Amino acid sequence: MTAIDDTRPEIATVEAMIDGVTVRVAEGTTILDACGGRGCGIPTLCYGETITPRNACRVCMVEVEGSRTLVPSCSRPVTEGMVVTTRSERIDHSRRMVLEFLGSSVDLSLTDHVEEWNAEYGADPTRYGPEAARVDEPVRIDNDLYVRDYSKCILCYQCVDACGEQWQNSFVIDIAGRGFDARVSTEHDVALPDSGCVYCGNCIQVCPTGALMFTSEYDMRQAGTWDEARQTQVDTVCGYCGVGCNLRLHVQDDSIVKVTSPPDSGITSGNLCVKGRFGFQHAQNRPTAD
């Protein structure tokens, strides 16, 4: 009988010191993940569970011994012997500044945790006064399925990467322009129906600030009827084809108001197609009483 060799290749690990505590993690693990990932106390904005971060927001910066500059914890892998500090006067100052710059120039009112971080780091986005430069432009409503409100956009690149090589491979949007004029844009800034958009909505799924939003949610917010406290979430499987994508239905008052997909789903990693994302109306067509 042949013995089956079930010894697995040993995973290379590295040892580092984070806030005085020795940790041993697999090689390639980022500092943020070594600290416990999202929700570990290090603030994150441009970091999404399903997208390789571009460290565009600079709010997760930490100190690494021997490094002249602060380093983005979401992207820097832990290396052997690394000594990391995740909270210090210098770090707090940097985070405060980032929160104030972003908060003074775009609308972060729908971004999770921003209020608590502002309080924690003493950030006051209003301190640049009413004259502070602000991305102020009308909401773009050019199709029936979702709206784009770039006055909420922090240019984190997540939608660009979800549309491009990281998920959908449609490459319909990119960051155009430079500096304060930089915007997520289709080619020639054409309306979505004139672009190559396939309405998979995977950009909405990863948007951390509410700049991209289901039209159904947008309309309800405008009408003042959007109420997350009254919503339930139901996980189910999409019935359109045989792939078996996981859907998370957001239901308010017995109606589906939005569809997402669990980011940790092994089938979708949070991604859907236009049918799964937006084709939910048939489920709630009720017979008319006649």
Partner 1 sequence: MEAIKRTTPASEAEREAIDGLLGPGEDHLGRDAIAGHVVRGRRHLLLPCLHALNDRIGWISPPAIDYLASRLGASPAEIHAVASFYGLFSLSPREPVQRHVCIDLACRAAGGPTEHSVDDGAHPAPCLGLCDRAPAAITIGGHDPEPDPGLAAVDRANDDVLLRRVGSGDPVDLDAYRADGGFSALDRARELGPEGIIAAVEASGLTGRGGAGFPTARKWEAVRTQPVTPHHLICNADESEPGTFKDRTLIENDPYALIESMAIAALAIGCELGRVYLRGEYLRAHRTLSTAIERCRSAGLLGSSAGFDIEIIRGAGAYICGEETAIFNSIEGYRGEPRNKPPFPFESGLFGQPTAVNNVETLMNVPSIISEGRRADRRLFCLSGAVRRPGVIEAPIGITLGSLIERAGGLPRGHARWSCRRLRRSGRP
Rule CB under 8 A: which residues touch partner 1? 55, 72, 75, 169-178, 185-189, 194-196, 198
Helical (H) or strand (E) element with 276:
helix 274-278
H or E element that contains 235: strand 231-237
C-alpha to C-alpha distances, 249 to 159, 224, 264, nearest whole angstrom: 21, 21, 16
User: Dihedral (C-alpha) 29, 32, 37, 41: value to the nearest 10 degrees?
Assistant: 160
Q: How far is the CB of 245 from partner 1 (least distance, A)?
A: 21
For partner 1, the closer of residues 75 and 255 by Cβ is 75
Secondary structure class of 231 (helix, strand, coil): strand
Q: Smaller CB distance to partner 1: residue 120 or 174?
A: 174
Cβ closest to partner 1, residue 78 vs residue 249 = 78
Q: Which two tokens stand for residue 213?
A: 């939003």
CB proximity list for 155: less than 8 A, separation 6 or greater = 56, 175, 182, 183, 184
Q: Which of 209, 195, 109 is nearest to 158 (CA)?
A: 209
Identity of the residue, 76 or 250, whose beta carbon is nearer to partner 1 in the bound complex: 76
Residue type, 272: L
What's the min distance (Å) between Cβ of 177 and partner 1? 5
Whose Cβ is closer to partner 1: residue 60's or residue 257's?
60
Cα–Cα distances in angstroms (integers) from residue 203 to residues 60, 121, 178, 208, 233, in the given order: 22, 30, 21, 10, 20
Q: How far is the CB of 135 from partner 1 (least distance, A)?
A: 16
Q: CB nearer to partner 1: give 170 or 231.
A: 170
Amino acid found at 22: T
Question: Least distance (Å) from partner 1 to the CB of residue 173?
Answer: 6
Q: How far apart are CB 62 and partner 1 at their closest, in Å? A: 14
For residue 140, the number of C-alpha atoms closer than 13 Å in the C-beta half-sphere is 18
Taking the complex as a whole, the smallest distance from the CB of residue 153 to partner 1 amounts, in Å, to 15
Residue-wise DSSP of 73-127? TTTPBP-TT-EEES--HHHHHHHHHHHHHHHHHS--TTSTTHHHHHHHHT--GGG
Provide, rounded to whole angstroms, the least separation between the CB of residue 202 and partner 1.
14
Closer residue to partner 1 (CB): 29 or 246: 29
